[in-house]
Amino acid sequence: MLLFTPPKSNVMMDYQRAIVLGVASVVVVTAVVSGPLVPGVTLTQEHDVAYGEGNATVAGVQFPDRVTVERASYGQEGYYLDIPPATVQFTSLSGSPTVTYRLSVAELGYSRSTVHFLDDGVGKRFEVTLQADSFGADELSRESYAGTLDVVVDDARSRRVVGQRNVTVEVVG
């Protein structure tokens, strides 16, 4: 089979071969350099930041007006809690503090929070979100509940509530 292949474009073949071999060598050499055979080189760096350090001064927090519990769709039963994000306005921010966004509904004995880890990439305005949660079909009996939203900052100084708002949690659908 190979004997009958015309010796077409040997130059092209060589150039292709060079590219393929070149890429393969770069991959292999990089891998070897990363390993213990070449000490002192680390290509994998752990995102190793001590959170809860640094400083954050908060000018204010804008909370959403309305928190809803919506009936699930697409054939899933029960309800999903849908909490719009809040916006935290910083006057100064340094280091790596954490910001916690929290909802508590005393009547249901319920509370849920999501912690956000801040680092250098965060600007003066930061949107905090709260992860959705589900409720069983029989867990909610009323049309609305009184709840509290708050935002907690944890930095080198202290752990403190920087904003709070009472909201009505409406059951929709």
Partner 1 sequence: MSTDTVVGRRLDRKRLTRVRESVVAVLFGDRVGLALFLGCACLFALFWRTTILITDTYTLANGLYSLSNGNVFLTEAVYGPSLDTPGTEYYRGNPIARNYGAIVLSLPFWALLEGLGAVVDLRIGIVALWSLGLLAFVVTLGRHLDSETVVAGGSVLVLAVFGLNVALARPLDSASTHLYALQLFHLTVAAFAPVLLYRLVRRMHTSRVGTLTAVAFTLGTPLALWATVPKRHVLTATVVVAVAYCLYRSRMPTDGVLMRRPATFRALAYALVGLYAWVHAPEALLLAVVLALVDVPTAPENSPRTLLLVAVAFGLSLVPFFVTNALVAGSPIRPPRLLAVAGSGGGSGSTGTAAAGSGSGATSTGILTVLAPLFTAIEPVVEPLLLLGGELLVGAQAIVSQPSELYHALVRSGYTAGTVDLSNEEAVNLSLLESAPVLLALAGVVASLRGRRRRPSIPSRILSGPRVVDIFAILLLLGVTLQYASRLPIHAQITVRYLFPLYPLGIYLLIRLPVLRATLAENYRLFAWTVAGSIAVGGQLVVVVVALTTNGLGEAFQFHALLSLAVAIPLGVWAVAGSSDGWSGRVGAVLLGVTTALPALFGLLTAVEYYALGDTHALPMVRALGELLPLL
Contact residues for partner 1 (CB under 8 A)? 2, 12, 15-16, 19-20, 22-24, 26-28, 30-32, 34-37, 42-47, 70, 72-78, 80-82, 129, 131-134, 136
Q: How far is the CB of 135 from partner 1 (least distance, A)?
A: 9
Residue 85's Cβ-count burial label (10 Å; 0-12, 13-18, 19+) is: middle
Q: How far is the CB of 128 from partner 1 (least distance, A)?
A: 12
Quick one: CA dihedral 53, 54, 58, 61, positive or negative?
Answer: negative
Please, which residue, 70 or 154, has the CB nearer to partner 1?
Answer: 70
Please, which residue, 35 or 60, has the CB nearer to partner 1?
Answer: 35
Size of the chain in residues = 173
Q: How far is the CB of 133 from partner 1 (least distance, A)?
A: 8
Please, which residue, 24 or 146, has the CB nearer to partner 1?
Answer: 24
The two structure tokens encoding residue 7: 């010796």
d(CA 168, CA 147): 6
**Under a CB-based contact definition with an 8 Å cutoff, are residues 32 and 38 in contact?**
yes
